[in-house]
Amino acid sequence: MKTYHSKLLLFGEHTIVKGSRALAMPYTRYGAKWSFESGENRQVSASALSDFHIYLSNNRDDFHYLNVAAFSEDLSKGIWLDADIPKGYGLGSSGSVCAAIYDRYGVNKIVGEDSEDLKELKMIFARMESHFHGTSSGTDPLICYLNEAVLMSTTNLERVSVPHLNEGQGGMFLLNTHIARKTGPLVNLFLEKCKNPIFNQLISNEFAIYTDICIDAFLQKNKLALFDNLRKLSTFQYQYLQEMIPEKYRQIWSDGLDSGDYTLKLCGAGGGGFILGFTEDFDRMDLSDIEVVFRF
């Protein structure tokens, strides 16, 4: 069975609504796949899928591109999603469900060859994922469905190649806070802060610019520019978005900036889940509860 991998939002958290770009990629350590086999640890249980089926059935006009009847028949046969994506970590646990359902039950499925197709797919997934969140951008299920990195702006979507290397002294990692959180309240907090003209100007004139430079440097494998602007990005988040950094990790964040051994940034909305980290040398780090995403 195909695996629908989790996703990481590398850059562009919050600032995409202010005009900067965002970069998201699949994270293959976690995922979900369909199963008819019996299993004791069902993270996406048959009852959760049944609730989603009821939602789709009650809104058939909105979901005419899904074969809801076939979904219903599979549910009666005991289908479920075998998933290990942590919930409340911003890794796309609900996005993987939407991607799996669209891929299995979609009618005249959109492949996503160009920007317009990707925009339509994103809107489809936004409607589907609203069952879980009330509102959704559709980004998480899009990445889970495509299993490719996507570069996003307010006007354009495009698939991109993310440099994946398994060797080198440094690289990218995830720091586990062991704190589940909800995205909605954190996004609302950011938008509320943006009502302050001074803060709003800082986001546009500094944070969004650092984000764009980091994206280009990352995709172009320009480590010098990447780490220089990661430090600026991290310093900005520590200074102006500290409410989104779990309290017990603020000192760890600051220690990285002071020592230069590693640099931390928000992973998605922040508030818990994983914190994204970069280092030029893993041997210089003294952090526990980390997962190495890849080396470079």
pLDDT digits (tens, 9 = 90+) for 195-205: 999 999 999 99
Percentage of residues of the chain with pLDDT beyond 70: 97
Question: Residue with structure tokens 């062991």?
Answer: 178
Q: Are residues 43 and 102 in the same domain?
A: yes
Largest CA distance in the chain: 58
Helices (DSSP H) in 134-222: which residue ranges?
Answer: 139-146, 183-193, 197-202, 208-219
Please give the average per-residue pLDDT across 25-47, as a whole number: 79
Say whether pLDDT at 176 is over 90.
Answer: yes
Q: What was the pLDDT predicted at 40?
A: 56
Please report which confidence band the pLDDT of residue 134 belongs to, taking 50, 70 and 90 as the band edges: confident
Query: Is residue 96 assigned to a domain?
Result: yes
Instruction: Identify the CATH number of the domain in which residue 252 sits.
Output: 3.30.70.890
Host domain of residue 220: 171-295
Instruction: Identify the CATH number of the domain in which residue 21 sits.
Output: 3.30.230.10
Domain boundary among 100, 130, 160: 160
Q: Are residues 85 and 215 in the same domain?
A: no
The pLDDT tens digits of the residues spanning 222-265 come to 999 999 999 999 999 999 999 999 999 999 999 999 999 999 99
pTM: predicted TM-score of the whole model, two decimal places: 0.94
Percentage of residues of the chain with pLDDT beyond 90: 78
Cβ atoms of 204 and 19 closer than 8 Å: yes
Number of domains forming the structure of the chain: 2
